[in-house]
Amino acid sequence: MSTTPRRRAAKAIASPWLAAGARGDQREKKRQAVLQTAARLFNERGFHATSLDDIAERLHVSKPTLYYYVKSKDDILLECVRTALATMQQGIAEVRQQGGRALDQLRACMRSYAAIVMDDFGQCVIRIGEDPLPPPLRKELRRLKAGIDHEFRRLVTEGMAEGSLQPCDPKLAAFMLAGALSWIGRWYRPDGAMTPEQIADQGIALLLGGVLAPVPSPPSSAPRRRAPRKSTP
């Protein structure tokens, strides 16, 4: 029998560098943190009053660090807008895939739209708007908005065809519905008395059902029949 001692397996040294996939995941998480923090600051202070220094300070990083994740403040705003509109489009697509009556689809799309305009990115779209963006980016924003408007018009048109919506101008109806829902993003406060779900429920009910109380039916004007007289013996 050999008496030579067995060599112990060398203990692997843990690499301080993450694998490529993990590095990519970490970078994307940090990028999303930059965008969400920026969106909140834009909503709180306004776009022009917020600087990259402010965003870096809120994140506890240096300003040069931000440039690893974003190009400029304009780039941040556009990415915030893209995120919100892409989420809206995804929600509308999911509703369309589920099918059902146009009215039910319209309610579901309105609910999705309302929920998004109450989150950080959605509020950024509504409160900041497109004016701060340079013309090429403004054009892209309008293109994304047009796609959502098209879906609302389609559902209104289909709702009239199935008889669940009264006859109206689909373009005007889409503008009115989306405009009213968008305005929620201006006055909504997370610490308010109502939850986002309650706001969405009541807002949709008002937009689709109106605020007028049902008018009671007038009393019948038909002449009342007199009871026949009893004949006397």
Give the pLDDT confidence score for residue 84 in this predicted structure.
87
**Residue 227: inside a domain, yes or no?**
no
CB atoms within 10 A of CB 87: 17
pTM, whole model, 2 decimals?
0.76
Cα(115)–Cα(32) distance, rounded to whole angstroms? 19
CATH number at residue 95: 1.10.357.10
Give the total number of structural domains in the chain: 1
Do the beta carbons of residue 149 and residue 142 sit within 8 Å? Answer: no
* Spatial CA neighbour of 80 closest among 147, 186, 72: 72
Q: How many CB atoms lie within 10 A of CB 121?
A: 25
The answer to whether residue 130 is domain-embedded is: yes
Asked whether residue 19 is domain-assigned, the answer is no
Task: List, for residues 153-183, the tens digit of each pLDDT value.
Answer: 999 999 999 999 999 999 999 999 999 999 9
At 12 the pLDDT is 56
Which of the residues in the chain have pLDDT under 70?
1-24, 219-233
Backbone CA torsion sign across 136, 141, 143, 146: negative
Is residue 232 situated within a structural domain?
Answer: no
Q: How far apart are CA 155 and CA 159, in angstroms?
A: 6
Q: Is residue 166 part of a domain?
A: yes
Residue 178 lies in a domain: yes
Q: Is residue 192 part of a domain?
A: yes
**Domain range for 185:** 77-209
Q: Is residue 105 part of a domain?
A: yes
User: Taking the CB of residue 43, how many other CB atoms lie within 10 A of it?
Assistant: 21
Neighbours of 56 (CB within 10 A): 17
Question: Could you read off the pLDDT of 3-28 as tens digits, one per residue?
Answer: 555 555 556 565 555 565 666 688 88
CA-based nearest residue to 31, from 75, 1, 86, 85: 75
